[in-house]
Amino acid sequence: MKRTAFFISDGTGITAETLGQSLLTQFENIQFTKRLRPYVDTIEKARNMVQQINAAAEQDGARPIIFDTVVNKEIREELAKANAFMIDIFSSFLAPLEQELGDGSSYSVGKSHSIQHNAHYKDRIDAVHFAMDNDDGARTHYYNEADIILVGVSRCGKTPSCLYMALQYGIRAANYPLTEDDMERLQLPAALKQHKHKLFGLTIDPDRLASIRNERRPNSRYASFAQCEFEVREVENLFRRENIDFINSTHFSVEEISAKILVQMGIERRLK
């Protein structure tokens, strides 16, 4: 079965898409065509959206699903004219909250993702810059400012995990690749020893690592299964010997990896 899903907002659409995507993943037998439509903030744009939605309904032979976080009542009423099943996220949750809190919502557009109302916006940007500046062991002399330092073999997911933790949680995350030389010495590099309490390891299945490395350097020793198996085995032995917590990243998304790391390390997110 095929259905179209629209994520519609008069702001960025991040909230509508995040919640909508989470709900749709529960329906594995349905193939969804997903369409993000941010900044639908005028009646004219809403009417155009209705045309798009009705066209999708005709093409699919089934009503599209709409997840919306539109604040303006008139725009919502216009969207409701479409041939679709509409889930109004704000109305579903704000009314019960207003009743519980005994206070009315401001019904302001885009407050959760705006700069002026987010006191932690600078923290987020600073954390991203920190992750980029301290990627791949480039600048170890700033590790005293890090909340966490990810270690592991090359191409096991350290960089995307650091960037995600920075952007999503405001965590200052650095990463350091363990090389063949480090494995031959059977000990942590000197730059990491004094920050051992901040270290967290990532590992990966050798066959998956070989596949990733082959995309970067095809048919090289670096990408061979034998080399990948050796590096993974030795790094995991190093983690156990040094009592460094680690997880296998093979079957986890970057979101799952980041959440597991913060839980295991007991690190609180900076962005609340």
Q: Which residues sit in the known binding site?
A: 152-159
Same domain, 73 and 123: no
What does the alpha-carbon distance between residue 141 and residue 143 come to, in Å, rounded to a whole number?
Answer: 6
Number of folded domains that form the chain: 2
Please say whether the beta carbons of 248 and 154 come within 8 A.
no
Asked if the structure places residue 272 within a domain, the reply is no
- What is the reported pLDDT for 92? 81
Contacts of residue 140, defined as CB under 8 A and 6 or more positions apart, other chains included, come to 134, 174, 176, 191, 192
pLDDT in tens, 85-129: 999 887 788 778 888 888 876 656 555 555 555 667 788 889 999
What does the alpha-carbon distance between residue 181 and residue 195 come to, in Å, rounded to a whole number?
Answer: 20
Please say whether the beta carbons of 37 and 8 come within 8 A.
yes
Give the least confident one: 25-39, 110-124, 193-207: 110-124
Asked if the structure places residue 148 within a domain, the reply is yes
- What is the reported pLDDT for 119? 62
What does the alpha-carbon distance between residue 180 and residue 208 come to, in Å, rounded to a whole number?
Answer: 19
What does the alpha-carbon distance between residue 172 and residue 162 come to, in Å, rounded to a whole number?
Answer: 8
pLDDT in tens, 230-243: 999 999 999 999 99
Same domain, 165 and 205: yes
Measure CA of the first residue to CA of the last residue in the chain; give whole Å. 39
- What is the reported pLDDT for 260? 94
| Mean pLDDT, residues 233-261 | 95
Confidence label for 68 from pLDDT (cuts 50, 70 and 90): very high
Q: Which residues sit in the known binding site for ADP?
A: 152-159
User: What proportion of the chain, given as a percentage, has pLDDT over 70?
Assistant: 94
| Mean pLDDT, residues 175-182 | 88
**Structural domain range at position 158:** 119-265
